[in-house]
Amino acid sequence: MTELTIALDAMGGDQGPDIVVTALARALSSYTQVDFILVGDQQVLQPILDRYPAISQSPRVTLQHASQVVAMDDKPSAVVRAKPDSSMRAALDLVNNGSADACVSAGNTGALMAMAYLTLKPIPGVVRPALVAPLPQQDGRQSLLLDLGANPVCDAETLCQFGIMGSVMAQQINRQSYPRVALLNMGREDLKGNDTVKQAAQLLKATPGIHYIGFVEGNDLFSGRADVIVCDGFTGNIALKACEGMAELLYHNLKQSIQGHLLTKVLAKLLFKRHKKSWQWLNPDQYNGASLLGLRGVVMKSHGNASANAYFSAIAHAIDEASVELPQRIHDRIEHALLAQVSDNRNE
Amino acid sequence: MTELTIALDAMGGDQGPDIVVTALARALSSYTQVDFILVGDQQVLQPILDRYPAISQSPRVTLQHASQVVAMDDKPSAVVRAKPDSSMRAALDLVNNGSADACVSAGNTGALMAMAYLTLKPIPGVVRPALVAPLPQQDGRQSLLLDLGANPVCDAETLCQFGIMGSVMAQQINRQSYPRVALLNMGREDLKGNDTVKQAAQLLKATPGIHYIGFVEGNDLFSGRADVIVCDGFTGNIALKACEGMAELLYHNLKQSIQGHLLTKVLAKLLFKRHKKSWQWLNPDQYNGASLLGLRGVVMKSHGNASANAYFSAIAHAIDEASVELPQRIHDRIEHALLAQVSDNRNE
C-alpha cells in the first residue's frame, strides 16, 4: 500500500513534458511508496511515455487527460476563466478533492498562484499565501526566504504571519527545532528601514513560540545568521534575482578568464573535476522548488526552465511537505497564534 | 597652477587614517594637477605624515586640524549637533565654502548623508539626494544603481528624479551619450510591481531627453540591459548587499573546495595567477566610492573598511565628478525638466 499521491502538471514550463516524464521515472524508483498522477494532454504524453516502460507499466502511475495548457505568457487573471480544463488546474483540483497530497508545476508562476488561491483557498486565519524557497548557507545549512513575489506589497501583520509560517516550515522540513526568524532590512539597527518592517518587528517580538532575532541585511541571506528570512514579495523577488545575476556574472567572468589559454583550460578542467563533488551542495538543481505556503494543500512551483534533475528535486520537496502534512502544521500554528492574540486582547 | 582641490576626511572608516594617507600618496603622484586638504586630528596625523615625506613636503597638500571624530556607531541625528568640529563636518564645510571641489569620507554613512544634506543642501528642485554606485556588467561596461539607502521610502516623483540624475551621471562620468534608464521591479511586464514603480514608469516615459527602457529585474543588475537602474533605498541597499552575500558564499565555497588537497591547491594557485589579471575588472577596489547625488557639491562615500587602493579609487571618482562639475550638470538638467513640466501644465 502506498502512502502518498503526487499530481504532476506535465505541460507547464519552458522545456515541455519530456523533462517532467524523465523526472517522474527517477521519482518512481526513488520513492517506492509514492503514487503519481501525470496530468496533461494524452496525445502529447503517450508517445513520450511509450519510451519509458517503467512508467507506462507501473501501477503507481495514472495518466489524467487535460485538454488545455497554460502558456508562460498567459495573463494570470484571464487564465482562471479562459482555461478551465488546463493541466495546471486539474493538478490543483486533484489536491483539492483529496485525490492527491501535493502537486508540482513548472508553469506560469502568476497563473499557478492565482489558480491555487482560488482552488485550494488559504488556511483559515492566513492573510496571504507566500512563495518560499530554500537558500544555501555558508555553514552548509539551509535558510528559508519568503515572500519571493506572491505579494508585492505587505503590511506588518502579513510579514509577521510569513515569519510564523516560515518557522513551522523550518521546523518540519529543515528539522530546526528552534528556528531563528529575522526580517530583511537595510540595516541591523532598530531604527533602520521603513515603518512596515519596524511594526512587523514589534509583532514578531510579541508572538509566542517565535524565536525572532531582529533585522538582517542583504548579505545575511547566505551568512547563516537566520533560519527564516522574511520580506515583502517585491524585495524578496529582486534580492533573489540579484543574487542569480551576481552568480551569472561571476560564472561568465570565470569562463572568459579560462577560455583562450590552453594551459588554463587544462588546469581549470582538473580543478573543476575536483569541484564537481565539493560544489554539489551549491548545485542549483537541488534548490529548485518554491512552495506556495499558507494554502490548504501542498503546491510546489518548479523553475520554468528546470532540468529533469531539478524537477525531480521539486517533486522530492513536495513529497517532504506532504509527508509532514505541512498545511495542517501551519493551520495549527496560525490558530494558536490567533487564539493567543484574542486572549491578549481580552487581558488588556 | 592646479585645477582642483579635494578634501579628505582622514579620520572616518574602520581602518583609521593610515589607509587615507597611503591613498593620498598614490593620488598625489597620479593626479599632478590636483591639490588635497587632509582633515583630521593633527596629533594623530602628524606621525603618519612623517613617514611620507612626499606628502609632508608637498606644496599641494594642506593639513587642516579637526578636534572631533565621528564614530562608526554615532547616531546620525545626534552627531550633527554633538560634533561641530568633526573632521567629516570640516571636509564638507571646505566644499561648501568653495575651498574644495569635492570631499571623500570613509566614515559613518548615515552621519555623512545627514551632515552633507545640512551643510551643502540639495540642488534647487531636487526632492531628495540619492546614494549611487557603479556596478560591473557582463559586457565590461558599468551601470549605475540608485538609491542605495539614503531614502528607505520614495514616491514616484523621487524615483523619476533619480532616473534623471543617474542619466546625467552616466553621460558625464561613464561617457554614455544616450544612457538607458530602467526601474528595478519584480518582473519586466508593465503590470508587475507596486503602484509607486508603475507611476514612476509613467513619469519617466513623459520626461523629455530620458531614454527610459522600462522595468528590469534583479538579475539585470549585471546583465548589461540598462545603464541606470533606479529603485528606492530600501530595495537598492538589500539588492546590493544580497549580491555581496552571494559573492562571499561563492568565494567561501571555492576556498573550501580547494583547501585540504595539495594537487588542487597547486592547480588553483596557477589558475588564479592567470585570473588575477583577467579578473581585474571585477576587483572590488575599483568599485569603491558611492556618490551622494543631488547636492550642491561632490561628496564621495568610501566603504568603511576600504583598503588604501579602494580609498584611492574613491578619490579618483571624486576627481572625475568634480572635473565635469557634476552638481552643476545635474542642476541644469533638473531645471530643464522642471521647466518642461511647467510648460506642459500650461499647455494642458
Place A72 in a pLDDT band, splitting at 50, 70 and 90.
confident
DSSP state at residue B88: H
* A287: pLDDT strictly greater than 80: no
Give the residue carrying C-alpha cell 504532476.
Answer: A8
pLDDT tens-digit profile of B224-238? Answer: 999 999 999 999 999
pLDDT tens-digit profile of B253-270? Answer: 777 766 766 766 776 676
Closest in B220, B238, B245 to A235, CB measured? B238
Write out the DSSP string of B289-335. Answer: -EEEETBSSEEEEPPTT--HHHHHHHHHHHHHHHHTTHHHHHHHHHH
Cis (ω within 30 of 0) for the bond into A9?
Answer: no
* A2: pLDDT strictly greater than 60: no
* B141: pLDDT strictly greater than 60: yes
Place A73 in a pLDDT band, splitting at 50, 70 and 90.
confident
Distance of alpha carbon B69 from alpha carbon B41, whole angstroms: 8
Residue-level pLDDT at A148: 94
The answer to whether residue A217 neighbours chain B at the CB level (below 8 Å) is yes
| CA distances, A63 to each of A24, A90, A306 (Å) | 12, 12, 22
Place A292 in a pLDDT band, splitting at 50, 70 and 90.
very high
Give the residue carrying C-alpha cell 524565536.
Answer: A211
Report which of A296, A295, A306, A161 is spatially closest to residue A228, judged by C-alpha positions: A161
DSSP state at residue B80: H
* Ordered domains of chain A (ranges, CATH): 1-126+285-348 (3.40.50.10950), 133-251 (3.40.718.10)
Sign of CA dihedral B135, B137, B142, B146: negative
Judge whether B182 and B143 are in contact, CB under 8 Å: no
Closest in A184, A257, A274 to B257, CB measured? A274
Report which of A210, A215, A211 is spatially closest to residue A182, judged by C-alpha positions: A215
Distance of alpha carbon A286 from alpha carbon A307, whole angstroms: 11
Give the residue carrying C-alpha cell 565621528.
Answer: B70
Residue B234 C-beta-side C-alpha neighbours within 13 Å: 21
In chain A, residues 149-168 whose CB comes closer than 8 Å to chain B: 149, 152-153
Mean residue pLDDT of chain B comes to: 90
Query: Are B244 and A271 in contact (CB < 8 Å)?
Result: no
pLDDT tens-digit profile of B290-305? Answer: 999 999 999 999 988 8
Percent of chain B at pLDDT exceeding 90? 72
Distance of alpha carbon A235 from alpha carbon A240, whole angstroms: 9
Query: Average of pLDDT values for A231-256?
Result: 88
Judge whether B279 and A257 are in contact, CB under 8 Å: yes
| Least-confidence region, from A233-242, B78-87, B111-120, B253-262 | B253-262
Residue-level pLDDT at A282: 53
The answer to whether residue A280 neighbours chain B at the CB level (below 8 Å) is no
Strands A228-230, A102-105: pairing kind: unpaired
* A34: pLDDT strictly greater than 90: yes
C-alpha cell at B188: 519586466
Residue from B188, B249, B261, B274 to probe the interface with A (highest A Cβ count within 10 Å):
B249
Residue-level pLDDT at A138: 85
Distance of alpha carbon B79 from alpha carbon B65, whole angstroms: 18
Distance of alpha carbon A48 from alpha carbon B305, whole angstroms: 58
pLDDT tens-digit profile of A184-194? Answer: 999 898 888 99
Strands B102-105, B4-9: pairing kind: parallel
Nearest CA in chain B to A219: B245
The amino acid at residue A227 is D
Number of H helices, E strands in chain B: 12, 11
Label each residue of chain A as H, E or C.
CCCEEEEEECCCCCCCHHHHHHHHHHHHHHCCCEEEEEEECHHHHHHHHHCCHHHHCCCCEEEEECCECCCCCCCHHHHHHHCCCEHHHHHHHHHHCCCCCEEEECCCHHHHHHHHHHHHCECCCCCCCEEEEEEECCCCCEEEEECCCCCCCCCHHHHHHHHHHHHHHHHHCCCCCCCEEEEECCCCCCCCCCHHHHHHHHHHHCCCCCEEEEEECHHHHCCCCCCEEECCHHHHHHHHHHHHHHHHHHHHHHHHHHCCCHHHHHHHHHHHHHHHHHCHHHCHHHHCCEEEECECCEEEECCCCCCHHHHHHHHHHHHHHHHCCHHHHHHHHHHHHHHHHHHHHHHC
Residue-level pLDDT at B115: 95
Judge whether A192 and A109 are in contact, CB under 8 Å: no
Residue-level pLDDT at A246: 87
Report which of A8, A10, A19, A23 is spatially closest to residue A312, judged by C-alpha positions: A23
pLDDT tens-digit profile of B179-191? Answer: 999 999 998 988 8
Residue-level pLDDT at B1: 40
Residue-level pLDDT at B173: 96
Query: Average of pLDDT values for B73-97?
Result: 93
C-beta atoms surrounding B140 within 10 Å? 10
C-alpha cell at B86: 568633526
Dihedral class, residue A299 (left if φ above 0, else alpha if ψ from -120 to 50, else beta): beta
Cβ neighbours for A216, distance < 8 A, ≥ 6 positions apart: A182, A183, A184, A185, A188, A223, A225, A226, A229
Write out the DSSP string of B120-186. Answer: H-BPTT-S--EEEEEEE-TTS-EEEEE-SSS-SS--HHHHHHHHHHHHHHHHHTS--SSPEEEEE-S
* A143: pLDDT strictly greater than 80: yes
* A180: pLDDT strictly greater than 60: yes
Place B278 in a pLDDT band, splitting at 50, 70 and 90.
low
DSSP state at residue B69: -
Judge whether B13 and B301 are in contact, CB under 8 Å: no
Judge whether B299 and B112 are in contact, CB under 8 Å: yes
Query: Average of pLDDT values for A284-304?
Result: 89
| CA distances, B195 to each of B160, B199, B298 (Å) | 14, 6, 33
Judge whether A209 and A196 are in contact, CB under 8 Å: no
CA distance B170 to chain A (A): 21
Query: Are B222 and A279 in contact (CB < 8 Å)?
Result: no
Judge whether A62 and A38 are in contact, CB under 8 Å: yes
**ipTM score here?**
0.89
C-beta atoms surrounding A98 within 10 Å? 9
Query: Are A274 and B256 in contact (CB < 8 Å)?
Result: no
Query: Are B246 and A241 in contact (CB < 8 Å)?
Result: no
DSSP state at residue B106: -
Residue-level pLDDT at B279: 52
Judge whether B104 and B300 are in contact, CB under 8 Å: yes
Judge whether B222 and A245 are in contact, CB under 8 Å: yes
Residue-level pLDDT at B269: 72
Judge whether B138 and B223 are in contact, CB under 8 Å: yes
pLDDT tens-digit profile of B22-36? Answer: 999 999 999 999 999
* B144: pLDDT strictly greater than 80: yes
Query: Average of pLDDT values for B48-66?
Result: 94
Judge whether A187 and A215 are in contact, CB under 8 Å: yes
Cβ neighbours for B261, distance < 8 A, ≥ 6 positions apart: A274
Judge whether A129 and A294 are in contact, CB under 8 Å: yes
Distance of alpha carbon A30 from alpha carbon B57, whole angstroms: 76
Report the run of H or E that residue B55 belongs to, with start and end.
helix B53-56
Query: Are B242 and A242 in contact (CB < 8 Å)?
Result: yes
Residue-level pLDDT at A347: 72
Query: Average of pLDDT values for A112-121?
Result: 95
C-beta atoms surrounding A129 within 10 Å? 27
B138: chain A residues, CB-CB within 8 Å: 248-249, 252-253
pLDDT tens-digit profile of A296-319? Answer: 999 999 988 889 999 999 999 999
Closest in A235, A258, A279 to B235, CB measured? A235
Give the residue carrying C-alpha cell 562608526.
Answer: B72
Residue-level pLDDT at A1: 40
pLDDT tens-digit profile of A4-29? Answer: 999 999 998 888 899 999 999 999 99
Query: Are A184 and B136 in contact (CB < 8 Å)?
Result: no
Place A139 in a pLDDT band, splitting at 50, 70 and 90.
confident
Residue-level pLDDT at A279: 52
The amino acid at residue A285 is D
Judge whether B219 and A171 are in contact, CB under 8 Å: no
The answer to whether residue A41 neighbours chain B at the CB level (below 8 Å) is no
The answer to whether residue A54 neighbours chain B at the CB level (below 8 Å) is no
Residue-level pLDDT at B230: 98
Residue-level pLDDT at B20: 96
Judge whether A9 and A106 are in contact, CB under 8 Å: yes
Query: Are A246 and B193 in contact (CB < 8 Å)?
Result: no
Cβ neighbours for B105, distance < 8 A, ≥ 6 positions apart: B8, B9, B12, B13, B88, B91, B112, B299, B300, B301, B302
CA B89 to chain centre: 18
